[in-house]
Amino acid sequence: MAHTQHQTMRRVLRREIAGTIGLLTDEQDFTAMRRRYRTFTFDNHASYLQQVEALLRTLASQGGHTTVALFDPEEYAEFCAEHGLEPDTPSSRTRFTAELAATGATVPYEGQPLDHLVPNLIDEAVRQATWEYATTLLSRIGTCASCGEDIGRVAFVRASDLLVRILDASGPGERHLVCSVSTEPETLVAVLRADDDQHGTPHLDESEALEFTTVLALGIATQSPGGLVMRVGTPDTTDRVYGWRLRGEGLEPLTAGEVFDAYCTDVVSGDLVSPESGVDYCAPPDLGEEGPTTRHRH
């Protein structure tokens, strides 16, 4: 009887344990793991993904909560070298996955098909990498030669204020904002979605808002070319699209024609994108009075 009770208690406790699976989303990464490590015994990427999805469904059916993390072979090798671990062991892979759960990009499994989860996981990884890169660049700018203020911190405060004013001026509705800043070696792009709660207050994802503000702050601090485009949609009305270009420490409104060009051009490839029907490309609303700004010198 005591043995049966102990088994029952263990099953109950198992439902209290949250888990993380490190997923090789890319076939090239999967092949790299196969070639490097004898103990990685999977031999087919498609079959591997099917088995992962089956495991996720089983864990969910047992009441468990599982997150999926992006497993990168190069980062794994660096992790093992840094911590003095033998990389060709399941225990080292498990330890690396536990590290990803705390610091890496993860997506909760909520019953969604893997072909829906994987793009979301990759987007989350890109978002986190963009934020980390922009944060690093901001921190390296240093202090203003004339006033001694931290340029990155001041730019972040400025970007936060601009974002609040944009959301206030946009009115109610579903908002979709895209900020792009031209840096070397590539353009940084951040996306932010905002929906109104039951009180009419914009609801933001904190991680998205942090990334968006950081990228905008980097553009302000470095005086880099860039811009912001916003789409606002409300029920039974035409979606409105408008935007601004970065100009000094502020934003300069784009004309309706410039918004059309910006929205119908891929920010990464530069290729033209067909305009949508039923969309109004227009000049942006007034953002109100700006506070005093200071042109900092690096």
Predicted confidence at residue 144, as pLDDT, reads 72
Those residues whose C-beta lies under 8 Å from the C-beta of residue 294, and which sit 6 or more positions away, are 144, 147, 149, 154, 249
Those residues whose C-beta lies under 8 Å from the C-beta of residue 275, and which sit 6 or more positions away, are 260, 263, 264, 281
pTM assigned to the model = 0.77
Which pair of structure tokens corresponds to residue 285? 């609303």
Domain spans, the chain:
1-111, 151-281
Predicted confidence at residue 35, as pLDDT, reads 94
Residues 18 and 64 sit within 8 Å (Cβ to Cβ): yes
- Distance between CA atoms of residues 149 and 231, nearest Å: 35
Tell whether the model's pLDDT for residue 48 goes beyond 90.
Answer: yes
- Distance between CA atoms of residues 210 and 190, nearest Å: 10
- Mean pLDDT, residues 81-99: 95
- Mean pLDDT, residues 216-243: 90
- Mean pLDDT, residues 71-81: 95
**pLDDT tens-digit map of 16-44:** 556 899 999 999 999 999 999 999 999 89
- Mean pLDDT, residues 145-153: 79
Element (H or E) spanning 21, and its range?
strand 18-23
**Residue, of 262 and 295, whose pLDDT is higher:** 262
Q: Is the dihedral of CA 217, 223, 227, 230 positive or negative?
A: positive
- Mean pLDDT, residues 163-183: 90
Tell whether the model's pLDDT for residue 109 goes beyond 90.
Answer: yes
Tell whether the model's pLDDT for residue 291 goes beyond 90.
Answer: no
Which pair of structure tokens corresponds to residue 218? 């980097």
Predicted confidence at residue 28, as pLDDT, reads 95
Predicted confidence at residue 6, as pLDDT, reads 47
- Amino acid found at 73: P
Provide the pLDDT confidence category of residue 65 given band limits of 50, 70 and 90. confident
The least confident of 35-39, 156-160, 226-230, 232-236 is 232-236
Mean pLDDT score of the chain, rounded to an integer? 86
Provide the pLDDT confidence category of residue 197 given band limits of 50, 70 and 90. low
Residue with tokens 């536990």: 98
